[in-house]
Structure 1
Amino acid sequence: MTTVDAVVIGAGHNGLVAANLLADAGWTVAVLEATGQPGGAVRSAEVTAPGYLSDLYSSFYPLGIASPVLRGLDLDRYGLGWRHAPAVLAHVLPDDRAAVLHRDPADTAGSLDRFATGDGERWLSLYDEWRSISEPLLDALFTPFPPMRAGAALLARLRTAGSLRLARRGVLPVDRLGAELFRGAGGPLLLTGCALHTDLAPGEAGSGMYGWLLAMLGQQVGWPVAAGGAGRITDALLTRLAGRGGRVHLGQRVDRVLIARGRAMGVRAAGGTWRARRAVLADVPAPALLLDLVGPRWLPPRLVADLEHFRWDGSTVKVDWALSGPMPWTNREVGGAGTVHLGGADAAGLRRYAAALADGELPPEPFLLVGQPATADSGRVPPGGEALWAYTHLPFRRDWPAAAVAEVVRRMEAVLERHAPGFGALVRGRHVAGPGDLERAEPSLVGGAVGGGSSAAYQQLVLRPVPGLGRADTPIDRLFLASSSAHPGGGVHGGPGSNAARAALARDRPVAGGLYARAVGAAQRAVYRPS
C-alpha cells in the first residue's frame, strides 16, 4: 500500500490542475492514469504523415487563454506559449460568402457591414458591453457555485436592470439572440456557429449564452493554439507538478474508491492499493465515478435515480488530414482563419442539421468545425504544407458502426471539396477517429462525447451533473468530482479541477473543515431526501 495526502484519478487537464493546486498547498499527490499517456483530451501526435503534427482532440483554446485558473498557474514559465492565426474564425455560407471574426474589432465590424449596413457598429457596441463585464463574469464562471465574490462584483457593475438583461440573455436561444442584435446574416451566423460547438440546437434555451461567450472571447483574446501542439499544455502542467513533488503513474486503472464510515480512504488500482490521508479527487465522468467506482450502495437512492437521466452531449467524428499545400478555398479570405465553420451553414441549413441530430439521424450535410493550425503555428507542418482537421457531431450512441462513420467522413470531405475545389488532390495522409476510437483512446470521451455531458440548461449550475449543489463535493466525505461533468463543464479551462481542489482544501482545514463538512452534508441530505 502506498500512502499520500491525495489521490487524483485521471491525468486529464482537470486532474493535473487539481494536483498542481494541492501540491502548491504542500500536499503529497499521486495522479493515477488508466492509459499509457497523460493529458486526456489535450494531446498531440503525428498521426497522418511524417512531419505533420495533429492535435488529437481539443485544438484551439479561447477558454484556456482567458481562464483565471490556468493564468494563475503561470504555465508560460513551464514552456507554454500561445499562437494566433491572422483571423480568428470564418463562418462560410453555402454561396461562399464569409463572416469573419478578426482580432481587430474594426475588421470584424467591416466584415459584418458587408451583410447589413450598421451591423458593424452593432458588433462594436456588443463588444464594448462585453468588455465592461468580462473580468467579473469570467471569474464567476470558473469559481465554485454560487460565485459569491465574483457575483457581487458582477452585480455591482450591471446593477439590477443589467443583471436581469444578462439573465435573459442566458436563456435565449441563439437564433433569437442573433435576430435581436443584428439585421443581416453575418452576425447571427457567427453567434450560431459558436453555439454549435456545444450540443445545443440554434433554437434551444441557453444556446445564445454559449454563442455570445465564445464569440466575445474570440474578439477579446482570440482562439489561439498551443505553440508546438496541444500536448504542450499537458507538458507544462506535468513539469509544474513534478517540480512540486507530485507524480503521475500511468497504466493505473482505478476500479474502486475505498470507503469506510462514509469517507473516501483511497483507491484500488491495477498496481495495488493507494491510501489517501486527506482526499480523493476524480477527473472521470460523473456516472463512472458514482456508479462504477463508488457504487449505488454508498449513495442516496434519489441520486442514483437522477443519474439515470444524465444526458451525454453528442457523439463526434474527427478527421485529420496532411495536405501538400494550403487549402484552395473559393473565398480566399477564409485561408487566414484558424477556425472555419461550414457545411449548410446558413440559418436554414443549421436548423436542418440540428433537427437531424435531434431525430437521431445522420445529417445529409454535416456542419463542420475545421481547423487550420499552421496558419498560427507553422512549425507543425513541413514547408508549404498544412495540417487540416475537422469534426462534426452525431446523435449520441456508443455503438456507431464503421460503415456509418465512413459515410460521415465521405460527407465531410464532400463539404470541404465543394468550398475548396481540389482539396482531395492535396491529401497526403488521413486519420479518422470515430466515436468508438475516441473512447478507446481516452475513456472519458464516452461514445465520443467531448463535453463531459450535455450543455443544456437543465444540466448546468446546480443541475450539473444532476440536481444538487453545483459543487465538486459528493455524498462521500472527502471525495470530489473534478471532471467536466461538474460545474462549470466542458472546455479546456481547468475550472472543475480547480473547484475540486478548493473544496478538498476547505474540507481539510482544522476547525472550519468540520463546519464545511456538516454544512455540505446537511445540504445534500435536503437535496437527496426522498419525497
Structure 2
Amino acid sequence: MSSSHQSYDAIVVGSGPNGLAAAITLQREGLHVLLLEAKDTVGGGMRTAELTLPGYHHDVCSAVHPMGATSPFLRSLPLRDFGLEYLHPEVLAAHPFDDGTAAALYQSLDETAAGLGEDGESYRRLFEPLIESWPRIDTHVLGPMLKIPRHPVALAQFGLKSLQSGRQIAARFRTMGARGLWSGIVAHSMIPLESLTASAIGFVLTIAGHRGGWPIPKGGSQNIADALKKYFQSLGGVIQLNTTVTALANLPESKAVLFDTSPQQLLKICGDRLSPLYRWQLKRHRYGMGVFKVDWALSEPAPFAAVAARKAGTVHLGGTFEEVAYGERQVWRGQYPDKPFVLFAQQSVFDATRAPMGKHTGWAYCHVPNGATKDMTKSITDQVERFAPGFRDTILAEHTLNTAEIEAYNPNYIGGDINGGVVNIAQLFNRPILGLSPYRTSAKGIYICSASTPPGGGVHGMGGFYAATQALKDIF
C-alpha cells in the first residue's frame, strides 16, 4: 500500500456515511486521519450512477434522506458550503389504495392530521409530544442505549410508545388511510409489523419527517458523500480509493483503526486480534431481510391515480395495513408474497438533473428473504401498475439488483440486508454485541462504526460519530 511508510493517528476503513463521519470527527480534533475505500468513489450506500440509459442518474442504494436531514451530526457540518442541496417534496410519503385515494405524510403535523379524517386527533396525540421533545432525546435515541439520559422523562415517553408493535400502534386508528400510512412507514424496519421493535423505526422516521422532511439530495445521493469527502479533505484528511483491506498487517502504522464494515468483514480482517468471546458474539450477529431493487428510465412520471402519490418523494405501495403486514410476515418466513410491499421514489419529479429533459427515473425495491435471488421485477412492476395504471407503457429501460448483486456492490449488505443486521429486540441497541460501548472491540485501538452498531442503518453518520468519540476518549 502506497501509504505504508507513513504513520497516521487514525485510519478509517470504509467510506459509507459512518466511515466519513468517523474520519471527520477525528480530523476535526486535529488528528492525522487516513480514510480507505475499496471502490473508486467514496459513499457506501450513497452513490449515484447511470444504471439504465445515458443521462438517467439513479441512486444505487439510498435515495430519500429523512435521517440525513435530522441527524444531529450531519446537521452540525457545513455541507451546504461543499455543494450539498436538499430538495423537499411537497408530500413526504404517500400511501395509495385501490380506490384511487391515498393517505399522505406532510412535514406539517396539522396538514397530515387534517388528511387523516377521524384519525387526525389520534395521530396528533400520538406524535405531537414526541416531535416537540425530539431535540432533547435525539442523540440518545440515535446512539448507544447504555448511558444515563439527560432527559429521562422525554426518553421514557418515547420508549413507552416505540416499544409497542406496529400492530398495537395501528389499533389506535380506525381509518384505512391512517392504518395504511403507518404500515408503510413501519415496514422500513424490515421486520414483521407484529414485532416489538418495528414501531421504533416508524416513530423515528415520522418524527424526522415532521421536523426536517424526507428530502432528496439534488443531483443524487452521491452528492451527500461528495460533500462529506470535500469537507474532510478541507480539514486536511487523506483519502485513498481502490484500496481493499484484507488484513491489519497491510495498514500503515496508526494508534486506532475504525471499521465501517460488517461484523463478518471485521472477523476476516482482524479476527486473530479479537478475544474468543468477542469473536463468538460477532458470529451471532443476525442479519434480516434482503432487498430486490429495480431502477427504470421512464418516458413520464408514474401515472398514479392518487394526486398525493404524484406529488410524493416516497410512495409506499402495498394497500391496507393487513396486506402490508401479511406480505412482510411472508418474507420473514422465507416466502415470496405475490403482492410485495414496495418502496417507490421518483427523484426526477423534483430534480431535473436526474434525467434528460422531459424524461424521468423510477427507483423501487421490495423485501425478500436474506440471500434470496428470485427475480422480483414483475411483482414490483405489477404493484406500481396497480396504483399507477399505464405505468408499464412509460418504461424505456430497467436495471435490477438481487441480494447477491447488492452484497457484491457493497459487502456490508450481507444477504442484501441494507440495515446492517436485523433490528429485533436483541439487536436494536445491542449491535453487534451487548457492551458498555458497542463501538469498542476486544482489541485495544480497534473499533467498529458501521450500520451494525447503534443506531443502525440509514444515512445519519451517528455510528461513526460515536465510535470516533469513543476512540478519542480511549486513546487520544
**TM-score normalised by the chain length of structure 1:** 0.85
The answer to whether 1:389 aligns with 2:367 is: no
The answer to whether 1:178 aligns with 2:170 is: yes
Offset at 1:123? 2.2
Equivalent position SS for 1:192: helix
1:482 corresponds, among 444, 449, 469, to 449
Q: Is the 8 A contact 2:328 2:341 kept in 1?
A: no
Between 1 and 2, higher relative CO (CA 8 Å, sep ≥ 6) is seen in 2
Corresponding residue for residue 67 of structure 2: 63
Cα distance in 2 for residues equivalent to 1:59 and 1:325: 19
Corresponding residue for residue 211 of structure 1: 202
One-letter identity of the residue aligned with 1:283 = D
**Divergent runs of 4+, >4 A:** none
Cα distance in 1 for residues equivalent to 2:257 and 2:145: 20
The answer to whether 1:84 aligns with 2:88 is: yes
The answer to whether 1:422 aligns with 2:390 is: yes
Corresponding residue for residue 308 of structure 2: 333
Cα distance in 1 for residues equivalent to 2:53 and 2:124: 42
Corresponding residue for residue 273 of structure 2: 298
Offset at 1:339? 0.4
- Residues 283 and 449 of structure 1: is their aligned pair in 2 closer, same or farther, counting only changes over 3 Å? same
Q: Is the 8 A contact 2:26 2:472 kept in 1?
A: yes
Q: Is the 8 A contact 2:439 2:467 kept in 1?
A: yes
Offset at 1:120? 1.4
2:26 corresponds, among 18, 22, 43, to 22
CA RMSD of superposed structures (Å): 1.7
One-letter identity of the residue aligned with 1:167 = G
- Residues 216 and 187 of structure 1: is their aligned pair in 2 closer, same or farther, counting only changes over 3 Å? farther
Question: Mapping of 1:322-471 within 5 angstroms?
Answer: 322-343=297-318, 345-397=319-371, 400-401=372-373, 404-405=374-375, 408-461=376-429, 463-471=430-438
- Residues 307 and 505 of structure 1: is their aligned pair in 2 closer, same or farther, counting only changes over 3 Å? closer
Corresponding residue for residue 253 of structure 2: 275
Corresponding residue for residue 228 of structure 1: 219
- Residues 124 and 171 of structure 1: is their aligned pair in 2 closer, same or farther, counting only changes over 3 Å? closer
Equivalent position SS for 2:171: helix
One-letter identity of the residue aligned with 1:287 = Q
Offset at 1:82? 0.7
Corresponding residue for residue 39 of structure 1: 43
Q: Alpha-carbon deviations, 1:380-433, whole Å to 9, x = none? A: 222322211100111112xx44xx22xx11111111112111111111121111
Paired residues, what number? 472
Q: Is the 8 A contact 1:191 1:208 kept in 2?
A: no
Offset at 1:143? 4.2
Cα distance in 2 for residues equivalent to 1:370 and 1:147: 37
**TM-score normalised by the chain length of structure 2:** 0.95
Cα distance in 1 for residues equivalent to 2:237 and 2:458: 24
One-letter identity of the residue aligned with 1:284 = T
Corresponding residue for residue 124 of structure 2: 124
One-letter identity of the residue aligned with 2:198 = S
Cα distance in 1 for residues equivalent to 2:202 and 2:243: 38
Q: Is the 8 A contact 1:373 1:387 kept in 2?
A: yes
Corresponding residue for residue 464 of structure 2: 497
Q: Alpha-carbon deviations, 1:422-472, whole Å to 9, x = none? A: 1111111211111111112222122211011111111122x2112223431
Offset at 1:97? 2.5
One-letter identity of the residue aligned with 2:415 = G
Corresponding residue for residue 196 of structure 1: 187
Equivalent position SS for 1:196: helix
Q: Is the 8 A contact 1:99 1:187 kept in 2?
A: yes
Cα distance in 1 for residues equivalent to 2:453 and 2:156: 26
Offset at 1:328? 1.1
Q: Which runs of 5+ in 1 are unaligned?
A: 259-267, 510-531
Cα distance in 1 for residues equivalent to 2:332 and 2:126: 31
Corresponding residue for residue 517 of structure 1: none
Larger Rg: 1
Q: Is the 8 A contact 1:13 1:494 kept in 2?
A: yes
Q: Is the 8 A contact 2:97 2:387 kept in 1?
A: no
